[in-house]
Structure 1
Amino acid sequence: MPILNKEEALALLKKVLSYSKADECEVSVNGSEGGNIRYALNAVSTAGDISTLGLAVTSVFGKKAGTATIDEFDDAALERVVRRSEELAQLAPPNPEYMPMLGPQTFAEAITYNTNTAAMTPDSRAEMVAKSLSVTKEAKLTAAGFLENSTDFNAVMNSKGLFAYNKGTDVTFSVTTRNEAGTASGYAARGFTDVSKLDTYSATKIAAGKANGSVGAKAIEPGKYTVILEPVAATYMLENMFRFDARSAEEGRSFLSKKGGGTRLGEQLMDEKVTIYSDPFNPELPSSTWGGDGLPREKTTWIDKGVVKNLSYSRYWADKKGVKPVPGPSNIIMEGGDATIEDMIKSTEKGILVSRLWYIRMVDPQTLLLTGLTRDGLFYIENGQIKFPIKNFRFNESPVIMLNNVEALGKPERSISVESYRSYLIPPMKIKEFTFSSLSDAV
């Protein structure tokens, strides 16, 4: 039962709404099923299948709202959760920012579902992990990794006639490889809607190459360096930038806030090579065609050749400002260029190749100044060649400043952030004057 088709979801939501006595009522249902394998020390440690299904009801009286949830689906339980949400609504204080629920909307059919991924089994997961482990055993390395696939759906309906449904699939894989001494490390991560695009063998080969290539890392002085950020490293650096929220900008709480008031909409904020957009129909990173506020999602350009092109407006903030609401990003795609990482290395007189960043923390929200560490493979470049591995650094840098220092971009790749568990389509990038503030002994 965890995955309801569109007709089953519609019938269930209609039934729940029929119990409502509130001024307005919204019901949502979501479910998922899938499985995973976790491995460490070159052996599987855990494996399992997961199946969930839940329903939420929000009842509204005037501007007072209450929400109750349940994972039982007999008629008595469904009526009980509606009554509970109504009780909670009557107890709640009025919400001055409450917006009336939307009526019927038109949503395009999403491309988020793939039958190959939905058909994954424990055997197919085990086979993919076995391919990964064959690499590390042959390379005399130790691997720790995680493979997970899921099929999920969500649907929402309200008393004004809005109904939306989406079904999607996802598979993610990550692996860390280390030498026996624990002095060198490599990493790779992949994520796809279609599992046939996932090659755990080649991904682990890359991680193994990073680990074996990192043996004997040397310390060099911190400072400002030209860096080549592989897509995973670039993703970690940029993801704190991707809200593009008009309200926080207008209230002075964002890197998109203008000193003295207002926003930086229309300003040249980054290098002309930088274009960032959302598109639910991107075949490499599809997303739902509707958001939680019930508005349709469509392709939206946020940064166009370095210029801030659009900001997202919630329904409340759009109404307050007298503008059209703009849903926030459904996904994030950054346009790239035609340079390969090899090309970037060859064109670098002195610089550093960065495999991955981690433990990133915000220092200043208004400038997006971040601090964090490198890990899993850091290499010194001189005269167009990788000369030797180097010890890790702590960095202090802002992605906004970084994107003003772009020298070259490569082909965008789908990368996973294990901190947010989101995927992005981000290119490798060559950046000048990236700030490394101190050395780190971490591997």
Structure 2
Amino acid sequence: MSTIVAKESRCRWHMCRMAHRLPGSATFRWGCFMSKEQLHGLMRDALRASDADQTEIVTMTSNSALTWYAENIIHQNVAEHTAQVQVRAVVGKKVGSASTTDCSPEGLALIVRQASQAARLMPDDPGFPGLPSPQPITAGRVDGWVAATAASQPGERVLAVKKVIERAEHEGLRAAGTYQVQNSELAVVSSMGVAAYQQYTVAALKAVVMGDDSSGYSLMSSADVANIDPEATGERAVRTAVETRHPAEVGPGAFEVVLSPFAVEELMGMLAYLALSARSVEQHTCFLEGHEGEQIASPIVSLYDDGLDPAGMPVPFDFEGMPKRHVDFLTEGKGGNVVYDSYYAAKMDRATTGHSLQQPNDIGPYPLNIFMGAGDSSETDMVSHVERGIYVTRFWYGNPVEPRGAVVTGTTRDGTYLIENGHKTHGIRNLRFTQGLVDMFAHTIEISRNRAVLASSFGIGAMVLPSIRAEGFQFTGVTR
């Protein structure tokens, strides 16, 4: 018996099968949803319990199955069904909200009444435009649901994780991570006539491989479980951990860099929060403000949000049931627009772009489907063009420094290389960076043709990002 099979016998299988009782139906089974008609009917019945002027109900349910592994041992398999209901009630210019996980008719009616009561206790919001009226939602081009992902079994995840573990053990390394498959549904119904519904799936395999003084990382995600390649995921993480053993120290300074899609994702997440929404324009922290149509970045950089593009993980409407629209932030380096929800659209005399998060929130509208346009190079080509620089697998612990220039800081992680004469020569100690992202875009000189699909931490949406090569990236310290 091989080592990995012996360890597999120590796995603990915890299958949490939660049941809901639907009106006039059999017990809800794990892995199943109500039909669109059933769910909308249940939500419309709950609207009748509201005595508010306007009411909105958002229901998000999910079946999630997760395999955890650490120290080369699969130590847990879990599965759960979750449901969250968020209700927003409007009385005049007062807005209240309430939430529950009770999807029974009685639970929904109760939470609708509680939201209405909460609204009456709130101060007036003079800028609140009322709940949005329905708009046509694009259908046909968007299909984020893959039946094979929804039907994926625990044994399939175990076999995939085994491949990662076996590759790590072969090099004397320790593997940890998760393999998650999830099928979800989002429904929005309001007294204004909004009725939106979408199912979608996500599969994501993450590997962190550790040595005594090095580590490697890889993540593969897709709506279709068939696109997850455990051999490639494990190989990338293991190879990185092997190649960066015994890291040298390189002092701070401005370096030419090649950033993997994982590193780019961390930066784009901070950029989305800081500068790509109407809220950032209102607060005058948006680098796009006043620069529409101006050349503010390299001509090879295009950045946009598209919740309808099947190359990502599409869902065609937001948490207000408004249709998602393509929004260009940068087009061949020229400044573009930002995203709006209905509140900020009314406040700034614009149309919603379908980018509301669940209400209320303190983030404002948010892009959940960021794409960066592909280039025409491979990552290997990009490294070969660097005389002396740094390759970054991943950033973490990112924080904003100066919002207007989208200046952020953080550290490298899980595989940082010195590049010399077109080759990644050896690993180096992790570095702290402090870098303006607008400046980075201006000094981007190469972009890869291949892009990675990286599932959002919000549980909906994904970024589709390439590797990039940029000059003058500022590293400001060495981590200890």
TM-score tier after normalising by the smaller chain length: over 0.9
> Which stretch of the first structure deviates more once superposed, 56-65 or 229-238?
56-65
Matched, 1:311 2:349: no
Partner of 2:329 in structure 1?
Answer: 302
Change over 3 Å in CA distance of 1:320–1:184 after alignment to 2: closer
The answer to whether the 8 Å contact 1:189/1:415 transfers is no
Partner of 2:364 in structure 1?
Answer: none
Matched, 1:133 2:165: yes
Aligned-partner residue type, residue 317 of structure 2: W
Aligned-partner residue type, residue 276 of structure 1: L
Partner of 1:340 in structure 2?
Answer: 378
Q: Percent identity?
A: 27
Matched, 1:432 2:480: no
Partner of 2:395 in structure 1?
Answer: 357
Aligned-partner residue type, residue 293 of structure 1: E
The answer to whether the 8 Å contact 1:232/1:415 transfers is no
Counterpart CA distance in 2 for 1:419 and 1:324 is 27
Secondary structure at the aligned position of 1:264 is classed as: coil
Partner of 1:174 in structure 2?
Answer: 206
Aligned-partner residue type, residue 381 of structure 1: I
Change over 3 Å in CA distance of 1:48–1:401 after alignment to 2: same
Q: 1:45: Cα distance to partner?
A: 2.2
The 5-angstrom pairing of residues 239-250 of structure 1 reads 239-242=269-272, 243-250=275-282
Counterpart CA distance in 2 for 1:27 and 1:41 is 44
Change over 3 Å in CA distance of 1:418–1:142 after alignment to 2: farther
> Which stretch of the first structure deviates more once superposed, 317-326 or 211-220?
317-326
Matched, 1:29 2:56: no
Aligned-partner residue type, residue 299 of structure 2: E
Task: Deviation per CA, 1:387-441: give whole Å up to 9, x if none.
Answer: 2222221111111111111111102422548877773111111111111112223
Matched, 1:151 2:183: yes
Aligned-partner residue type, residue 437 of structure 1: T
Secondary structure at the aligned position of 1:187 is classed as: strand
Partner of 2:249 in structure 1?
Answer: 219
The answer to whether the 8 Å contact 1:38/1:44 transfers is yes
Change over 3 Å in CA distance of 1:419–1:371 after alignment to 2: farther
Partner of 2:213 in structure 1?
Answer: 183
Task: Deviation per CA, 1:364-390: give whole Å up to 9, x if none.
Answer: 111111111112112222222222222
Secondary structure at the aligned position of 2:449 is classed as: coil
Counterpart CA distance in 2 for 1:420 and 1:318 is 23
Counterpart CA distance in 1 for 2:304 and 2:374 is 12
**Partner of residue 70 from structure 2, selected from 32, 40, 43:** 40
Partner of 1:260 in structure 2?
Answer: none
Counterpart CA distance in 2 for 1:285 and 1:38 is 25
Aligned-partner residue type, residue 428 of structure 1: S
The answer to whether the 8 Å contact 2:202/2:455 transfers is no
Secondary structure at the aligned position of 2:405 is classed as: coil
Matched, 1:115 2:155: no
Task: Deviation per CA, 1:110-158: give whole Å up to 9, x if none.
Answer: 3111111101121111111111111111222111111111111111111
> Which stretch of the first structure deviates more once superposed, 417-426 or 100-109?
417-426
> Which stretch of the first structure deviates more once superposed, 147-156 or 68-77?
68-77
TM-score by length of 1: 0.92
| Count of aligned pairs between the two proteins | 434
Task: Deviation per CA, 1:11-55: give whole Å up to 9, x if none.
Answer: 111211122222111122221112101111100122200111233
Counterpart CA distance in 2 for 1:76 and 1:238 is 42
The answer to whether the 8 Å contact 1:236/1:417 transfers is no
Change over 3 Å in CA distance of 1:353–1:108 after alignment to 2: same
| Uncovered stretches (5+) of structure 1, i.e. residues with no partner | 258-262
Matched, 1:384 2:422: yes
**Partner of residue 126 from structure 2, selected from 96, 120, 137:** 96
Partner of 1:83 in structure 2?
Answer: 113
Aligned-partner residue type, residue 270 of structure 1: A
The answer to whether the 8 Å contact 1:230/1:355 transfers is yes
**Partner of residue 284 from structure 2, selected from 249, 252, 255:** 252
Q: 1:250: Cα distance to partner?
A: 4.1
The answer to whether the 8 Å contact 2:313/2:455 transfers is no
Counterpart CA distance in 2 for 1:76 and 1:177 is 48
Counterpart CA distance in 2 for 1:349 and 1:76 is 67
Partner of 2:320 in structure 1?
Answer: 293
Counterpart CA distance in 1 for 2:89 and 2:175 is 50
Counterpart CA distance in 1 for 2:478 and 2:132 is 54
Q: 1:312: Cα distance to partner?
A: 2.2
Task: Deviation per CA, 1:231-289: give whole Å up to 9, x if none.
Answer: 111211222112522342243233334xxxxx322222211101112222322213211
Q: What is the Cα-based RMSD across aligned positions, in Å?
A: 2.0
Q: 1:330: Cα distance to partner?
A: 4.2
Partner of 1:370 in structure 2?
Answer: 408
Matched, 1:202 2:229: no
Matched, 1:50 2:66: no
Q: 1:210: Cα distance to partner?
A: 0.6
Counterpart CA distance in 2 for 1:437 and 1:77 is 54
> Which stretch of the first structure deviates more once superposed, 164-173 or 373-382?
373-382
Secondary structure at the aligned position of 1:362 is classed as: strand
The answer to whether the 8 Å contact 2:288/2:336 transfers is no
Aligned-partner residue type, residue 90 of structure 2: V
Counterpart CA distance in 1 for 2:104 and 2:80 is 22
Secondary structure at the aligned position of 2:442 is classed as: coil
Q: 1:167: Cα distance to partner?
A: 0.8
